Amino acid sequence: MTTRWTRKDLLGLRELSADEINFILDTADAFKQVGTREIKKVPSLRGKTLVNFFVEPSTRTRTSFELAALRLSADVINISATTSSLTKGETLKDTARNLEALHADIFVLRHGSAGAPQFLANRLKASVINAGDGAHEHPTQALLDLYTIREKRRQIAGLHVAIVGDILFSRVARSNIFGLLKLGARVTLVGPSTLVPREFEKLGVEISHKIDEVLPKADVVNLLRIQHERQRREYFPGIGEYIRFFGLTKERAKLLKADCLIMHPGPINRGVEIDSEVADGLHSVILNQVTNGLAVRMAVLYLCGGISA
CB 86 within 8 A of CB 60: no
Site membership for ligand CP, residue 265 (CB under 6 A): yes
Cis peptide before 216 (omega within 30 of 0): no
Q: Is 191 in the site for ligand CP (CB under 6 A)?
A: no
Direct distance between the N- and C-terminal alpha carbons of the chain, in angstroms, rounded to an integer: 25
DSSP annotation of 253: G
Is 266 a binding residue for ligand CP by CB under 6 A? The answer is yes
- Report how many residues bind ligand CP under the rule CB under 6 A: 9
Q: Taking the complex as a whole, how short is the minimal distance between the CB of residue 163 and ligand CP, in angstroms?
A: 14
The stretch among 117-125, 216-224, 237-245, 263-271 that binds ligand CP (CB under 6 A) is 263-271
Piece in contact with ligand CP (CB under 6 A), picked from 18-26, 54-62, 118-126, 241-249: 54-62
Question: What mask, x for binding ligand CP by CB under 6 A, covers residues 9 to 48?
Answer: ----------------------------------------
d(CA 18, CA 65) in angstroms, rounded, equals 23
Secondary structure percentages of the chain, helix, strand, coil, to 5:
40, 15, 40
CB of 94 to ligand CP, least distance (A): 25
Q: Indicate which single residue of 22, 27, 61, 95 sits in contact with ligand CP (rule: CB under 6 A).
A: 61
Distance CA 159, CA 179 (A): 13
Which range, of 3-11, 58-66, 184-192, 214-222, touches ligand CP by CB under 6 A? 58-66
Shortest Å, Cβ 239 to ligand CP: 20
Quick one: which of 215, 132, 222, 226 has its CA closest to 180?
222
**Quick one: which of 243, 298, 287 has its CA closest to 265?**
287
- The residue (of 201 and 229) whose beta carbon lies closer to ligand CP is 229
Beta strands in 185-276 (DSSP E): 186-190, 206-208, 220-223, 261-263
**Residue 132 in contact with ligand CP, rule: CB under 6 A:** yes
Shortest separation between residue 207's beta carbon and ligand CP, angstroms: 24
Q: Which CB atom, from 141 or from 222, has the smaller least distance to ligand CP? A: 141
- Asked if residue 80 binds ligand CP (CB under 6 A), the reply is no
Task: Choose one: 42-50, 119-127, 248-256, 259-267; the region binding ligand CP (CB under 6 A).
Answer: 259-267
* Sequence-distant contacts of 58-62: CB under 8 A, at least 24 apart: 58/110, 58/131, 58/132, 59/266, 59/267, 60/265, 60/266, 60/290, 60/293, 61/110, 61/131, 61/132, 61/138, 61/140, 61/141, 61/293, 62/110, 62/131
141 binds ligand CP (CB under 6 A): yes
CB 134 within 8 A of CB 171: yes
Question: Whole-number minimum distance, CB 296 to ligand CP, in Å?
Answer: 12
Q: Are 92 and 99 in contact (CB under 8 A)?
A: no
139 binds ligand CP (CB under 6 A): no
Number of residues that this document lists for the chain: 309
| Stretch of 30-38, 65-73, 117-125, 265-273 contacting ligand CP, by CB under 6 A | 265-273
Please state, in angstroms and rounded to a whole number, the distance separating the CA atoms of residues 119 and 18.
25
**Which one among 14, 60, 93, 209 touches ligand CP, defined by CB under 6 A?**
60
* Site of interaction with ligand CP (CB under 6 A): 58-61, 132, 141, 265-267
